[in-house]
Structure 1
Amino acid sequence: MYRAVAWRAVDRGIDLDDEGSVADVARDAQLEAEQGRVVIDGHDVTRAIRTPEMDAAAARVARLERVREVLVERQRAYAGDGDLVMEGRDIGTVVLPNAHVKVYLDAHPDERARRRAGDTAHAAQGGDVSAIATALTSRDHSDRNRTVSPLTQAADATYIDTTGLAIEDVVLQVLDLVQAARARA
């Protein structure tokens, strides 16, 4: 959601430091995020929001308290009472602190950079793993140190280090956690 709002604000020529205007975009936007697609105000931005420029723009937007208030409310409404998977840097700590299953996925910065370098949306960085790792580390530092909803692992989240793991292996670990939670319910 933060990436889509950042994209829409940039698309409209809004200064990302103008908290009120960016919060208005967040409040007024028609947002859809389903089955791997992200659409904002009729624009499919699924790929457009996964660029280095949008990484930086989303980090700036995520620091804005009024934008966070609007999007946290939208995320909670989207979650409703149903079963769903939601990812984000404050989902388990702020958005859905009472979720039955919380997972904190992590990987070594070099691993994350290699994965990102393989993403065609980041081709502008020329696959420079070192530059990508630096950008990711900088974003993490910024998100961990923001005053509103900082990036942190929820105390009751299961930590999974995905370094060297195939996606399928990570999915199986998460499914095991979900099945265990359902068995307890």
Structure 2
Amino acid sequence: MIVTIDGPAGAGKSTVARTLAQRLGFRFLDTGAMYRTVALAAIRRDIPWNDSQALADLVRDCNIEVTEEHVLLNGEDVTRPIRAMSVTTVIHHVADNPAVREQLVDLQRQVTSQGNYVTEGRDQGTVVFPDADCKIFLTASAEERARRRLGELEKRGESLDFTEVLAKQNERDRRDRSRPVGALLKAEDSVEFNTDGMEMPEVIGKLEPLVRQMLCLDE
């Protein structure tokens, strides 16, 4: 079975998907980490962002492994480096490359071909897994998401003010909705879940029974 969690950046998709997978006894696939890993590899190799072919070739040269807790690039643990702001600000160059996206979508489908998974991203329920058993569209206001993002950055020692984070959040939203490939869209058969003003335990507490009902896990 496949459960997809889509939604805008900062809505809490990764945390929700990871926790939900644990509660359901499913595996968790962080698809965004795959794109971040390619972006990190491109930075390290100094590949120009406008060289689409070089970026596509890079994916074929990289061995990307995403486990429950770690992300490996050619055997190296890059779980922390891929979350740096230097990667976040350039990841769209990777995500907007059709050839890169096609290869990573194929990889995501291969990884989930055996077993039960909760996956998260931007186009999981619309493009990657259109026939998923359960689709959730997780959302929150731009201000709420900016506050959460600011908290994450502060924990990592990165100093930014709220206005700057909110501006980046709004620009990311605009870009995600207008991407040529993999644009942020709510699947028609997905359930929208707004997390404004909710702490994560409350989100999971309300979302888990809903997903179980949709998957008929309690019958």
User: Would the TM-score normalized by the shorter structure come out above 0.5?
Assistant: yes
Q: Which residue of 1 aligns with 2:104?
A: 71
How far apart, CA to CA, are the structure 1 residues paired with 2:71 and 2:210?
27
Q: Structure 2 length normalisation: TM-score?
A: 0.78
Tell me, yes or no, if structure 1 residue 26 matches structure 2 residue 59.
yes
Local SS of the residue matching 2:121: coil
Q: Which residue of 1 aligns with 2:128?
A: 95
8 Å CA contact 1:22–1:61 kept in 2: the answer is: yes
Shift of 1:64: 0.6
Residue 174 of structure 1, aligned match among 207, 210, 218: 207
Greater Cα offset, 170-179 or 135-144: 170-179
8 Å CA contact 1:6–1:54 kept in 2: the answer is: yes
Local SS of the residue matching 1:153: coil
Shift of 1:167: 0.9
One-letter identity of the residue aligned with 1:3 = R
Greater Cα offset, 74-83 or 63-72: 74-83
Local SS of the residue matching 2:137: strand
Q: Which residue of 1 aligns with 2:7?
A: none
Shift of 1:175: 1.6
Q: Percent identical across equivalent pairs?
A: 37
Q: Which residue of 2 aligns with 1:161?
A: 194
Choose between structure 1 and 2: higher strand proportion.
Answer: 2
Structure 2, unmatched stretches of 5+, are 1-33
How far apart, CA to CA, are the structure 2 residues paired with 1:81 and 1:122?
35
One-letter identity of the residue aligned with 2:207 = V
How far apart, CA to CA, are the structure 2 residues paired with 1:83 and 1:174?
18
Q: Which residue of 2 aligns with 1:107?
A: 140
CA RMSD across the alignment: 1.8
How far apart, CA to CA, are the structure 2 residues paired with 1:136 and 1:36?
26
Q: Structure 1 length normalisation: TM-score?
A: 0.92
Residue 92 of structure 2, aligned match among 59, 65, 71: 59
Equivalent pairs counted in the alignment come to: 184
One-letter identity of the residue aligned with 1:168 = P
Q: Which residue of 2 aligns with 1:152?
A: 185
How far apart, CA to CA, are the structure 2 residues paired with 1:63 and 1:181?
32
Q: Which residue of 2 aligns with 1:82?
A: 115
How far apart, CA to CA, are the structure 1 residues paired with 2:188 and 2:90?
29
Any residues of structure 2 matched to 1:5-44 within 5 Å, and which?
A: 5-44=38-77
Shift of 1:15: 1.2
Larger RCO (CA within 8 A; separation ≥ 6): 2
Runs of 4+ in 1 over 3 A off after TM superposition: 120-124
Any residues of structure 2 matched to 1:119-138 within 5 Å, and which?
A: 119-120=152-153, 123-124=157-158, 126-138=159-171
